[in-house]
Amino acid sequence: MTENDKFQQHVANVYRQHLGERVVLFEYQGKRYWLKQVEQLAGAMRLLKQNSVAALNKEIGVLNVLSHLGAPVPAVVDFGVGYMVVEDVGDTINHVLDHTNETSWQPILNDASIALAKLHSMQFAHGRPALRDISWQAGEVRFIDFEANQQHKSLISQQIRDLLVFIHSLYRYIGPNNSVISQAINCYRLAGGEAIWQQAKQFLASWQWLYYFARLFRDIGGKDLKPVYWVLWHFRQAPVTLT
């Protein structure tokens, strides 16, 4: 039995033991991996299963293409009907920030911003690049859990959405720490994301009426509502051009 056969046998055992679990972390020969599978749905929810399978297959295809092109994504090491296995690429950034001194946040967020700009420069979009969907380990950034349900939109629209979700997530997890966030977004702009940033600013121009309404909830709203004000604030306050 080859080493690859042994690994696949181990994956099959993990799959059987955790059938129906969305994501499972396991170890093999000292390395960590994630098994991601389509949830086992019951009753009327079975009607959604085909969409779930298609979404997972789409993610497998996207990750394989991106990995081949050198994009910052985890490698798919095994896959089959209804599941895939990817290498572990470290903790997600929201978890890293929770266990890191605030003085060390800036380079981590800068790394994430530059990686997002790199992904966009390769003519790809993530779909939901929140901090919980981005890993960081010793300066290496990887994007996980690509969303497949935005493919009907233009690439520019998807990348604009990526940037807005990313900025919203920054404010959601670290609050109105404007200097840190502004520097991180400047890194995105300088690393090749300027055109998308400008498009996002233009897109939000028609939504600036929401700025004054959202301002009422900047301190008392929920975790998802409060950042809305700060996202709008960012595009009102940030310099139009960087020198």
**Would you list the DSSP string of the chain?**
--HHHHHHHHHHHHHHHTTT-SEEEEEETTEEEEEEE-----GGGGGGHHHHHHHHHHHHHHHHHHHHTT-S-PPEEEEETTEEEEE----BHHHHHHTS-GGGHHHHHHHHHHHHHHHHHTT---S---GGGEEEETTEEEE-S---TTTTS-HHHHHHHHHHHHHHHHHHHH-S-HHHHHHHHHHHIIIIIHHHHHHHHHHHGGGTHHHHHHHTTTTTS-TTTHHHHHHHHHHHHS-SS--
186-199 pLDDT per residue, tens: 999 999 999 999 99
- Averaged pLDDT for residues 157-172: 96
Clarify whether residues 117 and 197 are in a common domain: yes
Lowest mean pLDDT: which of 12-26, 33-47, 93-107?
33-47
Write down the pLDDT at residue 148.
Answer: 60
Quote the domain boundaries for residue 188: 93-237
Across-strand partners of 134?
143
Model pTM?
A: 0.85
pLDDT band at 53 (very low <50, low <70, confident <90, very high): confident
Single residue among 87, 117, 137 that ends a domain in this structure: 87
Clarify whether residues 34 and 99 are in a common domain: no
pLDDT band at 206 (very low <50, low <70, confident <90, very high): confident
- Averaged pLDDT for residues 88-107: 94
Structural domain contains residue 199: yes
Selection from 19-28, 108-117, 202-211 with the highest mean pLDDT: 108-117
Give the number of domains in the chain.
2
- Asked whether the predicted pLDDT for residue 12 surpasses 90, the reply is yes
pLDDT band at 95 (very low <50, low <70, confident <90, very high): very high
CATH code of residue 9 = 3.30.200
Clarify whether residues 216 and 142 are in a common domain: yes
Write down the pLDDT at residue 20.
Answer: 83
- Asked whether the predicted pLDDT for residue 49 surpasses 70, the reply is no
Single residue among 87, 117, 135 that ends a domain in this structure: 87
pLDDT band at 26 (very low <50, low <70, confident <90, very high): very high
207 vs 164: CA distance, rounded Å: 13
Clarify whether residues 23 and 98 are in a common domain: no
* Neighbouring residues of 105: CB distance < 8 A, sequence distance ≥ 6: 97, 174, 177, 180
**What value does the mean pLDDT of the chain take?**
88
